[in-house]
Every structure is written in C-alpha cells, then in structure tokens.
Amino acid sequence: MSFIIDYYNYWIVVFLMMTGFYIVISANNLVKKIVGLNIFQTSVFMLYITMGKVSGGTAPIVAEGVTLYSNPLPHVLILTAIVVGVATTAVGLSLIVRIKRAYGTVEENEFQNEDDAI
Amino acid sequence: MSTVLAAVCIAILVVMALALARACTAPTVYDRILGVNMFGTKTVLFIAAVGFLMGRPDFLDIAIVYALINFIGMVAVLRFFEYTAPIE
Amino acid sequence: MAVLIDLVLLAMLAITALRVIFLKDLFAVVMLFGIYSFLSALIFVSLDAVDVAFTEASVGAGISTVLMLGTLALTGRTEKENKHSSLLPFLVVVVTGAALVYGTLDMPPFGHPDNPVHEHVAPRYIEQSPKEVGLPNMVTSVLASYRGFDTLGETVVVFAAAIGVMSLLGIRRRSEDETPESGLKEHQVLRVVAKLLIPFVVLFALYVQFHGDFGPGGGFQAGVIAAAAFILYALVYGLPLAFQVIGPKFLQLLAPFGVLLYASVGLYSMFKGGLFLDYNTLASDPVAGQHYGIIIIELGVGITVFAVMLSIFYAFASQAERSNVQ
Amino acid sequence: MFVLDIISSVLLVAGVFFGLSGAIGLFKFPDFFTRVHAASVTDSIAAILIISGLLLQTSFDLNTAKLIFIFFFLMITSPTASHALAKSARHGGLLSMAERKTSDNSNTQENQH
Amino acid sequence: MFEQHLAALPIIIPLIAAPIALILGRSLLTWGFATLISAWACYASWHLLLAALSEGSLSYAMGGWPPPWGIEMRVDAANAFVLLAVTAVSTLVLVYSKNSIEKEIDSAQHPLFYTAHLLCLAGLSGILVTGDAFNLFVFLEISSLATYTLVSLARDRRCLTAAFRYLVMGTIGATFILIGVGMLYMKTGTLNMLDLAERIHLADGNRTINTGLAFIMVGVSIKLALFPLHAWLPPAYTHAPSAVTAFLASTATKVAVYVMIRFIFTIFGADYVFREMGMDLILMVLAIVAIFKCSYMATAQSNVKTVLAYSSVAQIGYMVLGVSLVSVTGLMAGLIHIFNHALMKGALFMAVGAVFYRVGSVDIKAFRGLGKQMPLTMAAFTIAGLSIIGVPLTVGFVSKWYLVTAALEQQHWILAFLVLAGSLLAVIYIGRVLEAAYFQSASDDASAAEVKEAPWLMLIPMWSLVIANIYFGIETSITTEAASSASEWLFQNSKVLEVSP
C-alpha cells in the first residue's frame, strides 16, 4: 500500500504524458498536434514539480515559523521550461496560419497529397 | 475550523468536477463555455480556500490571476464567435 | 487531505486529456486545453510550486489559449475524419509509457525529505539564499541569481519566438480607407467593464513585478499580465485603437531593449571586474549588489515578455482582421 | 474569535451550498438560457458568501486587501461574462425552449399547409 | 580583460548582438554587423581552442556562483574544436548569404534573417560550451526556435510544412531530453555535468538512470537525425533557403552529435553506456543502416538539395559509427568527421545555392551544361563532392581513413568493408550531378544561355571551404592533433565503472 502511496503521483503523470504524446503523433490536424504537444510538455513539468515536493513542507518563500520548504530548484527549471513551451507554441501556431493560407487546409494528409502531386 | 475549510475545499472540488463534466459533454457550444466559465470562477474560490487550509494565505495572488485570465478567456471566446458561426 | 485533493485533481486532468483525444470540435479541444492548464496550475499550487502555478495559469491558460483561438478563427473549427490507422502511434506510446513506468520503479518515493533531490544542491538555496542574496522568495533568488544565465537564455527564447512570429505573420496596419474594426461593438456592458478593469490589471502587473522578491511573481509573470491587460483592450475595442495606445513599431524596439537591459547588467559586472552576471560586484555591499542586479534583470525580463507577448497577439489578431475583411 | 469562526463557517457552508445547486442546475435545466441563469446567479452568491467567510479568517493585512480585490473583481467580471455570453447566444440564433416550441409549431403548421 | 572571460565570449557575443541586429533594421547594415560579430566569435573560439589544448579544460562560473550551485561553462578540446568549426562556418555562410538571400528571401525580412542567424549561432555555441545539463536544454531551444524561423523564411510554400514537421519532432526530442535530465536530477540532486558524472553511479537502483539514458539518447537522436528518426531532415534542408541549409547542414546536426558524445562519455561514462547497456551495438546497426538506406535514397532523388540532405543523414551515420566503436581512434574519427563534414557540406550547399542564384532551380536537370557556364562553382562542387566520396588529398579521405583504421583495430573487417562500400554509393549520387554538369549539354532555352558565374561574394566563402577541404586533407596534423587530444581527454575523463577485461 505504501508503495502505491509513494508512486501513484508519478504513474498518473506518466499516463498524462503519454496521452499528450499520443495526441501529437496520431493527430492529423495541426492545431490538435500543437494542443497535444502542450499537454505532453505540461505533464513533464508536473513530473519535475512532483519530485521537488517535500511532504509537510511549504512553498519556498521564507515565512515565520516554517522550517521545511519544498525544493525551489525544480520550480526554477520549470518556470524556464514553461516559457520555452509557449515560445514554441507561438511559432508553431503561426506556421499553421501560414500553412492554411498556402494550402487551404491544416490536415496533414491533405497537404502532403498536394505536395506529392507537384 | 480546518475541518470546515477542508469540507469546503472538497465541496468546491465537486462543483468543479460537475462543471468539467458539463464542459466535456455539452449539448451546445454555449453550454461548454458556461461550464468552462463556472470552472474558472470556482477555481478562484478553491485556491483562496486552499490557501487558508494550508496556512499560507499569501498566495491569493494566484487567485487574482485566475480570475483575470478567466475573464480574458471569456472575452476572447466571444470575439472568436465574431469570426466563426457558433452553432454546430 | 493533501493526498485527496491531489488525487481528485489528477483524475480530472486524466479525464480532460482523454476527452481531448476523441473530440473532433477543435473549439472544444482548445477549451479543454484551457481547463487542463488551469488544473495543472492547481496541481502546482498543491505541490507548493506557487511561482510555477502563477506562470502556468497566465501563460498556458491565458496566452496559449487566446493564441489557439486566434488560429482557429483563421483555420476552421472542425477536425476532419482521420482514416489513418492509429495502431502504430498507440504502440509507440505504449512502449514509451512502459519505459517510463519502468523508470519510476527506482524513483525516490514521493515527498520524502531524504530524497537525493533535496540533499545535494538544494539545501544551499534554501539555507543560504536568504543571507547570500537577501530575498525571502528562494525561487526568485535561484532564478535571477544562481541560475541567472538560464533566465537570460529564457528571455532570449522569448525574443526568438517574437522573431519567428514576426517573420511568419508580420503585423500590418490596415490602410485608412477601410472601415475601422471596432472590437465587440455589440457588447456595451463589456466595453464599460473592460475600461474599468484595465487600470487595475496594469497596477496588479506592477505589483507582481516588484513584489516578486517577496511573494510569488516576478518579471515574467508581470510581463504576461501587463500584456493580458492590453490584449483585453484590443479584444474589446479592436486593434486600431490598441495600436494607438501601443504601436507594433514601439514593441519591436521594446523587445530587444529588455534583452539588452538584462545583458547590460552582465556586461557591467564584467566591467567591474567580476564574472558575467556577477551581481556582487554591482555595489560595495554584495547583498545590495544582488538586490540591484535582480531588480534590473527582472525589469528586463518583464519588458521583453510584455513586448513579445503583445506583439505575438497583434500578429495573430491582425491576420484575423484581414481575413475577416476579405 | 470563536463567534467569528462560527459565522465564517456558516457563510462558507452556505456559499458551497449555492455553488453545488448551481452546478446541478447546469445539468437539470431544460435550455441554455435557464442554465445560464442558474449558473450566473449562484456563481455570484457563492463567491460573495465564500469570500466573506474567508475574510473573517484574515487579520486585516495585505491578504484582506487581496481578498477584497478578488471579491470586486469577481463581482464585476462574472455577471458581465454571463451577460455577454447570453447576449452572444441570442445573437448567434440560439432559441430558448419556449421559442423552439412555438417555432416547431409554426413549422409543423407550415408543413400541414 | 577578455582573457578572463574567454570561455563565455563565444556565447555572449552573438547573444547580445542578436537584439542589436534587430534594432539596426537595415539589410546591408545588419549583414555587415552580423558578419563582423560572427567573425569575432570565431576569433574568440580560436583562442579558446588554443587555451583548451594547452590547459586541458577551462571553467567559467556564470554569475560568480561556484558549480554545482551556479551554471558553469566548461571548455575542453572536444567542444572547443567543434565550436571553432561552427563559428567559422557561420562567418563564411554570413558572407555568402548577402547575395543568396537577396534572391530567396523578401527584403523586408532580411534583418529578421540575420537576427535569427545570430540567435541560432548563440544557441549552438551555448550547447557546446555549457557544463550544465539544463542550461543545455535552454540553448537547444534557442537554436531550435531560430532554426524553425530560418527554415520557414523561404518563398516556396513547402518550407512551411517542412518547418512545422521539424518543429513538432524537434520539440518532442527536446522534451525527451528534458524527461531524461529530470530523471538524472531526481537520482543525483544536481544538474552540473561533472557533478552528475560523479554522483550518477552512487545512486542506488539504476532503473531510473537506465530510463533517463534511453530518453536522452532518443531525444538527441531526433535532434541529430539518426536513421529512423531522420524524417524531418530531408524536407527541411530541401526547402529552406540555401544559405540556411548550408549553415544548418554543417553545424546543427554536428552539434547534436557532440551532445551525444558529451552525454555518453562525460556524464554516463562509456563503460556504463556501452558495456552495461549495450548501446554500442544499437548505435552501430542504426549507423550502418543509415549509411546504406540514406545513401541509396540519395541516388534516387532528382532535387540536388534533397540528394545532399539524404547524404547528410548518411554522413551522420559515419560519425555515429565512429562513436559506437568505443575506442580512442573511433571517437577521434567521429570528431574529425564532424569537422570535415562541416567543410564539405558547407561547400556543397553553397555551390548548390549559387546554382539556384543563377539558374533559379536546383533540379538535377538544371545542372546540365553548368560545367561550362559556371566553371568555378562547379569546380568547387566537384572537389567537395570528391571529398564526400573520400578521395585522397581531401578531408573526406582523412575521416574515412581513421574510421577504417579504428574498425580494423578491433578486427571488424566487415565494418571496414561496409564503410568503403558506402563510398561507392556516394560516387553514384555525386556522379549523377557531375555527369549532368559536365557531360550533358545545356538546354537550348535563351534563358539558359545567359547563365553566368556566381558573384564573388558567393565564390569567396565557397572556395575558402574548398581550399580548407584540400588543405586539411594534405596537412592533416592540425585536425588530427586536436581531435585525438579531444578523444583521449574524453576517454580519460569518462567515468569507468570497473576495468573491463
């Protein structure tokens, strides 16, 4: 039982990651791919934050009467990673807008067919 | 007091779950938005309550951000409907 | 209690993610993605990562969702039926997932204070940073000082995104003869309320910017919130009016300015004889030097993020308005 | 202090009750406009009650100010959002149940003609 | 003043210059500025290489915080060597790009192009120099975002889908690396590479470490376009502007190979990765399949850029093959080939870009008769092509020589034979282009008759690389010395678990 208590968090996070990953690689629609990519990344962020947690600890901001703080380093890393994620999302979405204008579709197999035809 | 707060947190979680269920399975687009909006406002209350439950109420800043983003999201959705017909 | 909240939130996340797979209505997908971001930010709060929650809520649920809606307005709302077999992706995912679960088996137990993560590097941040750097918020200390170079990189990533979006979409003003877009003209109540709120939102952004040393927040979050205020304005009153308040040309100068402000702190510390980004050399008292350094670089981050987020939004919105006219 | 706690508890529980009833209303009411009514009204009252309950827990510092700020923020934005949503639905051509009935009737009458 | 900061300069210079380039905002001005900056970075990395060769390794603590608490820049012979190649190619490509992008990119976007190029350079230098596993991820993303932008700048609409595919696969790769680094961090509590190397084997229970290794290897393999994960590379290289392709083909994947070497040798330790996990066999098989499958694909393409793109994937196979031999000579062959391949692919893509500049097409039919019309360009193409094949007196021969030596050292006769057989395929795909250029007459169109030699600004950087191809092919001591000392250094400092029999 304690095994499950210790690890359930990781397993659910792994499940979420894989859901996002599945959406990325199976979706045919580009917008959905980007959504999947975001879900995938957000879940990886959760993995990091999970490892930084200390049971009974509190947020790493000094407060009176608190001695046990969670680990601030994963928070810093993920803060950076979130920013990287939104930057990628923005560029990906603008690529989609341009693809729509150039091909008239954002379904992967459709514009692939068009390219092959040329 | 903390038992009451804990109970309140759980109850708000239940409301959030219901709103999520509505957002997932909505008969019309508007119902979906309504569910999302309700989910957002309840999250604000949840963060506020959890802050008190955990004894660190100085994190209300996050609740403010949630309220703000929720509102902007709603406006963006309404603006979005100026471009696409909302009826499915 | 914490475990219960955690479990319920994780379960909701799982439901949301699974629902996204099967939905064909992309508008609903984006809405659920917003919920997913909100929920993950809640998880971050319950795992004590308040700064991360702050960022995820404002970026994931805010900026990303707005940008995705903007894209949908241009690309259409429904996903077409996919005739491809989804077996191969499924297999890939199962294998990857199995590898990850295998990896979790030797992971240190969740939340245990003796885990290696908490033992080697982190104790110095927790014990020494309030003295060495002089800030109560350890996340800000690590972010801006110990790992300040990462944060410079992060600011440059944001800048690179701006370069990408500008080169792909560009921000074009509409010519004068066309009828000016007026935003949500029908919604009088919304226009009044938005006007009322925006000053407070900007005020809040300033508070987040300068209170980040003591509580959750900092340059990045402040930049996003300030950008959100102007995005709200542009959404309700239309782009031309927003351009009159802050024009895209000005933003194009502001974004590199923030990066340069950040980097100039590093160059100045080199000039004073220290290493790059060594704030101790900025003033005679090292802690005061740290303080000056952190305030300036946070300002640099805030300026760049504000300028970039707003110009990315402008780029998407001006595309949408142009397509609407045609 | 004890009295304050009791008052605060009562406020919180009442707030949660309204919140729950609103969520159930989301499912139970027959058409969108009644549902938006149920959701928005209970949303506001739940926010008022819960935040007032929490306000009594603070000791008049920055947190109080933040709570009051959230309170006003929700008071302004939540009804506005509901109003704008309903208005948008109206413009988008969504019909209430009563209207749908009448339009159905007229349709069937036309068909009979 | 600069001596002290030498290790940080190659990153800081382009990093700070990029926003300035955007503010300058004029095409010609930004071109000159970016070229000067890149040359400065190149000069700094030359000094860095000298310092690294004399001192062994240099450390620079960013922000004055000692590692592992702060972020450390750590330079040794291996990364200084690759860094020099990257900055040198970047400078030459920038000189070359002035004419090239005038033809291929709208003039309003020229400042954005130079800014993105500088950002990409800063990101690549950062990846090479940093000694911190997470900092590596940040710089990886800077260079990737800049690369997506650069690829999508072309006028052909297919560059958009290529960039998008690149973006999705690149982000998946980066996220995999992030997962792997997270697992290492979880077991060791540190992010500094040397610190990680020390603590990684102290951790009890290594299933998490194994998974971390697997995820990092998969992530890096996507970034370096190792065989089954290379799908993004051919379209991206084909449809990107020529200057961008010349830059990326000779730097981006090479840097990813370096990352793989760094993770294997410095962080995990060669013994753990190869002896315990058996990674060498996997890498070797994938490398050989890459060499043959992609060389074969290259022979079947009609677009010359696609030919060269597939050839790149095959050449990456040679580099990985060198790494997978697990010997000082093998690793040295891999490192030399990183440097040499940058020289030859840079020259080849520049020549193809020059053809596009004059003819307007890079289809193999467009090359007909160019041997007479653009003699200098086609001579450059020929020499660089011979180098790819591995003809003596070119750098390609040096790489192949050491690769075969390394294989024979371990009695891998078949491997040595396969390396030579791979060259035969290179003869075919390069030969097809040369045949069109020299032995087929130009079409009779009036437009085709007007084709002239490429402008000087394109020929000079192209020929600089070609001369380097020959110079380093004859005077091999410089590269082999640097590569062998880098390789020995990596092996000495690679954590050895136990002495294997």
DSSP per-residue codes, E342-373:
HHHHHHHHHHHHHHHHHHS--BGGGGTTHHHH
3-state secondary structure of E451: coil
Count the neighbouring beta carbons within 10 Å of the beta carbon of residue C179.
7
Residues of D in contact with C190 (CB under 8 A): 80, 83-84
Question: Touching A: which chains, 3+ CB pairs < 8 A?
Answer: B, C, E
Query: Which pLDDT belongs to residue D32?
Result: 86
Q: Which amino acid is at D71?
A: F
Question: Touching D: which chains, 3+ CB pairs < 8 A?
Answer: B, C
3-state secondary structure of B44: helix
Chains A and C: how many Cβ contacts under 8 Å? Answer: 293
Q: Which amino acid is at B59?
A: F
Distance (Å, rounded) from C-alpha C6 to C-alpha A13?
12
Reported as type and span, the H/E element at residue D42 is helix D32-55
- 3-state SS track over E145-191: HHHHHHHCCCCCCHHHHHHHHHHHHHHHHHHHHHHHHHHHHHHHCCC
- Exposed, middle or buried: residue C52 (CB in 10 Å: 0-12, 13-18, 19+)? buried
Chains B and D: how many Cβ contacts under 8 Å? Answer: 142
Contact B59 A59 (CB under 8 A): yes
Distance (Å, rounded) from C-alpha C176 to C-alpha C103?
61
Residues of C in contact with D69 (CB under 8 A): 200
**Among C255-269, E1-15, E80-94, which stretch is predicted with the lowest mean pLDDT?**
E1-15
Q: How far is C297 from chain A (nearest CA, A)?
A: 15
Q: Given the structure tokens 């309140």, which residue do they identify? A: B8
- The predicted-structure confidence for E193-214, as pLDDT tens digits, reads as follows 988 888 887 776 678 889 999 9
In this predicted structure, the answer to whether residue E43 has a pLDDT above a threshold of 70 is: yes
Query: Which pLDDT belongs to residue E353?
Result: 92
Helices E395-409 + E328-359 axis angle, to 10: 150
The answer for residues whose C-beta is within 8 angstroms of residue E97's C-beta and 6 or more apart is E31, E113, E117, E243
Q: Which of C1, C12, C206 to mutate to test the interface with B (most CBs of B within 10 A)?
A: C1
- In B, what residues contact A, Cβ < 8 A? 54-56, 58-59
Chain mean pLDDT for chain E: 89
Distance (Å, rounded) from C-alpha B49 to C-alpha C126?
27
In this predicted structure, the answer to whether residue E498 has a pLDDT above a threshold of 50 is: no
Task: Measure CB to CB from residue B30 to each of D70, D74, D89 and give the nearest one.
Answer: D89
Domain count, chain E: 1
Q: Which amino acid is at C204?
A: F
Q: Is residue E305 part of a domain?
A: yes
% of chain C surpassing 70 pLDDT = 93
CA geometry: angle at B77 spanning B73 and B81, to 5°?
Answer: 170
Q: Is residue E79 part of a domain?
A: no
Reported as type and span, the H/E element at residue E74 is strand E72-76
Task: Measure CB to CB from residue E175 to each of A33, A40, A99 and give the nearest one.
Answer: A40
Chains A and B: how many Cβ contacts under 8 Å? Answer: 8
Whole-number Cα distances in Å, C80 to A29, A105, A114, E224: 8, 10, 16, 33
Contact D80 C196 (CB under 8 A): no
Please state the domain extents for chain C: 1-77, 138-326
Reported as type and span, the H/E element at residue E61 is strand E57-61
Count the neighbouring beta carbons within 10 Å of the beta carbon of residue C210.
17
**Among B77-86, C50-59, C68-77, which stretch is predicted with the lowest mean pLDDT?**
B77-86
Q: Using DSSP, how many helices (H) and how many strands (E) does chain A show?
A: 4, 0
In this predicted structure, the answer to whether residue E331 has a pLDDT above a threshold of 70 is: yes
User: Residues 207..226 of C with a Cβ closer than 8 Å to A: which?
Assistant: 214-216, 220
DSSP E58: E
Closest CA relative to residue C45, chosen from A39, B44, B6 = B44
- The predicted-structure confidence for C270-317, as pLDDT tens digits, reads as follows 888 888 888 888 888 888 999 999 999 999 999 999 999 999 999 998
Question: Touching C: which chains, 3+ CB pairs < 8 A?
Answer: A, B, D, E
Reported as type and span, the H/E element at residue E441 is none
Contact E70 C146 (CB under 8 A): yes
Hey, which of B60-64, E17-21, E358-362, E451-455 has the most confident mean pLDDT?
E17-21
C111 — alpha (psi -120 to 50), left (phi > 0) or beta?
left
Distance (Å, rounded) from C-alpha E485 to C-alpha D7?
77
Interface contact C278, partner A, CB < 8 A: no
Reported as type and span, the H/E element at residue C64 is none
- The predicted-structure confidence for E216-229, as pLDDT tens digits, reads as follows 999 999 998 988 89
Q: Which amino acid is at E370?
A: L
Residues of A in contact with C104 (CB under 8 A): 7, 10-11, 14
* First vs last C-alpha separation in chain E: 49
Please state the domain extents for chain A: 2-117
CATH architecture, range A2-117: Orthogonal Bundle (1.10)
Confidence of residue D106 (pLDDT cuts 50, 70, 90): low
Q: Please say whether the beta carbons of E400 and E419 come within 8 A.
A: yes
In this predicted structure, the answer to whether residue E499 has a pLDDT above a threshold of 50 is: no
What is the chain A residue with the closest CA to E174? A41
Paired tokens of E77: 């012979």
Distance (Å, rounded) from C-alpha C49 to C-alpha E366?
59
Q: Please say whether the beta carbons of A75 and A52 come within 8 A.
A: yes
Q: Which amino acid is at E414?
A: I
DSSP β-bridge partners for residue A29: A107
Q: Which amino acid is at C15?
A: I
Query: Which pLDDT belongs to residue D103?
Result: 67
Look up the domain containing E363 and give its range: 297-493
ipTM: 0.93
Distance (Å, rounded) from C-alpha E16 to C-alpha E266?
30
Distance (Å, rounded) from C-alpha E239 to C-alpha A91?
18
Closest CA relative to residue C96, chosen from E211, A66, E102, E37 = E211
Query: Which pLDDT belongs to residue E205?
Result: 67
Q: Please say whether the beta carbons of C230 and C311 come within 8 A.
A: no
Interface contact A59, partner B, CB < 8 A: yes
- The predicted-structure confidence for D27-69, as pLDDT tens digits, reads as follows 888 888 888 888 888 989 999 999 999 988 887 788 888 899 8
In this predicted structure, the answer to whether residue D24 has a pLDDT above a threshold of 50 is: yes
pTM, rounded to two decimals: 0.94
Contact C50 A22 (CB under 8 A): no
Q: Is residue E108 part of a domain?
A: no
Paired tokens of E362: 């890079």
Q: Is residue E151 part of a domain?
A: no
DSSP β-bridge partners for residue E76: E57
- The predicted-structure confidence for E392-435, as pLDDT tens digits, reads as follows 888 999 999 999 999 998 888 888 899 888 888 999 999 999 99
Task: Give the residues of chain A that fall short of pLDDT 50.
Answer: 118
Paired tokens of B81: 């409907």
Distance (Å, rounded) from C-alpha C300 to C-alpha C285?
23
Q: Please say whether the beta carbons of B18 and B69 come within 8 A.
A: no
Q: Please say whether the beta carbons of B38 and D43 come within 8 A.
A: yes
- 3-state SS track over E290-341: HHHHHHHHHHCCCEHHHHHHHHHHHHHHHHHHHHHCCCHHHHHHHHHHHHHH
Closest CA relative to residue C24, chosen from C72, C82, C68, C75 = C82
Closest CA relative to residue E40, chosen from E5, E10, E79, E83 = E10
Q: Given the structure tokens 């008071």, which residue do they identify? A: D75
Q: What is the largest CA-CA distance in chain B?
A: 50
Q: Is residue E332 part of a domain?
A: yes
User: Residues 74..133 of C with a Cβ closer than 8 Å to B: which?
Assistant: 74, 76-77
- The predicted-structure confidence for E281-317, as pLDDT tens digits, reads as follows 999 999 999 999 999 999 988 899 999 999 999 999 9
Paired tokens of E166: 């690149």
Contact C61 B80 (CB under 8 A): no
Confidence of residue D107 (pLDDT cuts 50, 70, 90): low
